[in-house]
Amino acid sequence: MAPSAAKGKGRKPAGLLRLVALAASLCAVVPSAATSQDVEQSEYRAAESAYNAALSARDLERDLLDDALDEVTEARQSGDQARYERALAIYQDQARELEQSERELTDAAGRLEQVRRSYLLSVLDELDELYEELPQAPDARGRDLIGRRIDILLADANQLERPIDVDDNDPFPAINIEPGDTPDEIRAKADLLERYAAGYDLMVLDIDAQIELVEQRRRHARMVRDFGADLSRFGDLRVPMGRPEATSDNAEDLIGGEELSQRLEELQQTREFVIERRDVARARAEEFRQRIGGEHTA
């Protein structure tokens, strides 16, 4: 409901005030002080770098552990007891190193998810406000200013998406109990399978965050489409999305409506695939432990 004349006397509408501020920010020559969104973006970049470094370190430790496990197997088959004991000790040390890198990766992933979600919510909150203020814009220039800011925010949202890399050739399906494996070797293989399962757990969290992003952007696309339909009743067919060719008929497609639907379907399919991989790895680890009496390494 519009405010009464008495209540609004002497005050500019909130939407108009935002337009003035928006025009100033887009046209300013002198850089302004960092906004809260600038700070959130910097924190996200730092957290992303820390996560990537932790991921690389974890992958290296995993490769070293795989090599150590191969050496344990070869040493046992050689019949050299001293070599076998050395290889087993090295494997156990490497397993501890991997456990530490896994913890560091988990911490880095949690921090990244925290700052990314905060940054994303800030972007989406402003998008909601801008879409609500579109009908209050006094003219086409005002709508264009809002549209340019919307484009910037949508680009920020795109940057928050991290590719989901699922390797179809993951080595864990090849991890089996071989004839002659000792309980320690079987236990080591079970530990390795559980580490793969833990990695899939992290991947599911990442996919869920991206699904949430896509669903919110689809909602924004529908809001733009509906706004364009409202404008058409007044003879103004342009939808302010920073694209002069956008109209009420094609607005949702131009801002990625069809692409978002396809992306959502792909993410949901990937999520099902990753969960299946996780469950297989975890079930196989449990099967291995049952073979050695149900022992479980904490």
How do residues 162-197 score in pLDDT, each as one tens digit? 667 776 666 667 788 888 888 988 998 898 899 889
Looking at residue 294, the DSSP 8-state letter turns out to be S
Q: How many CA atoms lie within 13 A of 90 on its CB side?
A: 18
Residue 150 in this model has a pLDDT that exceeds 60: yes
Residue identified by tokens 């996780």 is: 278
Residue identified by tokens 């801002």 is: 255
- When comparing pLDDT for 283 and 34, which is higher? 283
Residue 281 in this model has a pLDDT that exceeds 80: yes
Residue 1 lies in a domain: no
Cα gap 121→127, rounded to integer Å: 10
Domain containing 70: what range? Answer: 36-291
Residue 132 in this model has a pLDDT that exceeds 70: yes
- Interval 131-154 mean pLDDT: 80
Provide the pLDDT for residue 245.
Answer: 42
- At 26, the pLDDT band (50, 70, 90 cuts) reads very low
Residue 260 lies in a domain: yes
Residue 12 lies in a domain: no
Read off the tokens for 65.
């552990």
Q: Structurally, how many domains does the chain consist of?
A: 1
Residue 143 lies in a domain: yes
For the chain, the helix, strand and coil percentages under 3-state DSSP, each to the nearest 5: 75, 0, 20
Reference 184, options 26, 75, 54; nearest CA is 75
Residue 250 lies in a domain: yes
- Interval 12-35 mean pLDDT: 45
Cα gap 286→294, rounded to integer Å: 8
Residue 26 lies in a domain: no
Residue 29 lies in a domain: no
Residue identified by tokens 């070599």 is: 83
Residue 43 in this model has a pLDDT that exceeds 80: yes
Provide the pLDDT for residue 73.
Answer: 92
Provide the pLDDT for residue 114.
Answer: 84
235: left (phi over 0), alpha (psi -120 to 50) or beta: left
Provide the pLDDT for residue 27.
Answer: 44
| Greatest mean pLDDT range, 7-21, 68-82, 143-157 | 68-82
Residue 297 lies in a domain: no
Read off the tokens for 238.
């342009």
